[in-house]
Amino acid sequence: MPSPLKNRIALVTGGTGALGRAVVKRLVAGGARVHVPWIVEREVAELKSYLGKLASKVTLHSSDVTDESSVRALFRQIAERSKRLDILANICGGFAYAALEETDAATWKRMLDMNATSAFLCCRAAAPLMKKGGGGRIVNVAAGPALNRGAAMMSAYAASKAAVLNLTYSLAEELRPAKITVNALVPTVIDTPANRKAMPKADTSAWLKPEEIAEVIEFLAGDASRIVTGTAVALNKS
């Protein structure tokens, strides 16, 4: 059976994080060649160790996807090296938990930059490459509060993820004629080291494994999802 993503070119933002690593591995194992921007050098070593021999199919770029000029340079490198882009998975993101009066402007801006601006800049840069190649797949990561009318103590985070969700809906309509699908994942709590550290007494049995989310992204990145677009895919363990 042929690899479902054989010879596809992908970009995974946030690809050196806990969820991002799982997504990169899944796409590479499926036959794709993956570009990964990074900021923290320690995480690069962790990604290479996690991937093992599969690391040879990954191209790493020192790049800040919240910065417009950095994103332009990143996509220029992708175009020069790979000539096209078939898959964009916007995994880059951040979280903030605080009461409104304890949320400063810097936190508000950081949430918008990490969650919404990064997705906007990369989607905008990816669209021309995907159109040139005849189509593509974009997967963004939203969050429960974006669908559920917000959440207490999460105003900045919820607002930024709502922006991601509405960006997804808008781009799905705009890019449909170009055969580019745009979907968003809406996960519950993800089982990452950072979340376990932040919630040491939580019941983790219902938390989502990064590998489970990566499976869904692989589906949305492939041919079988060609008629799925403009969808918020809720991810919950039953």
Please report, for the chain, the start and end positions of each structural domain, with discontinuous segments joined by +: 9-235
> What is the C-alpha to C-alpha distance for residues 78 and 133, in angstroms, rounded to an integer?
13
The CATH T-level fold of domain 9-235 is: Rossmann fold (3.40.50)
With a cut of 70, say whether residue 2 has pLDDT above it: no
Q: From the candidates 50, 97, 157, 169, give the one annotated as an active-site residue.
A: 157
Are 73 and 63 in contact by the 8 Å Cβ rule? The answer is yes
> Measured in whole angstroms, how far is the alpha carbon of residue 83 from the centre of its chain?
21
Q: For the residues 169-185, what does the mean pLDDT come to?
A: 98
**pTM, rounded to two decimals:** 0.96
Percentage of the chain with pLDDT > 70? 99
Tell me if residue 157 is catalytic: yes
Q: For the chain, give the mean pLDDT.
A: 96
> Residue 237 — pLDDT band, cuts 50, 70, 90?
confident
> What is the C-alpha to C-alpha distance for residues 194 and 145, in angstroms, rounded to an integer?
19
pLDDT at position 1: 54
Q: For the residues 138-158, what does the mean pLDDT come to?
A: 94
Between the CA of residue 200 and those of 60, 190, 191, 204, 208, what are the distances in Å? Answer: 33, 14, 12, 9, 16
Dihedral (Cα; 155, 156, 157, 161), 10-degree rounding: 100
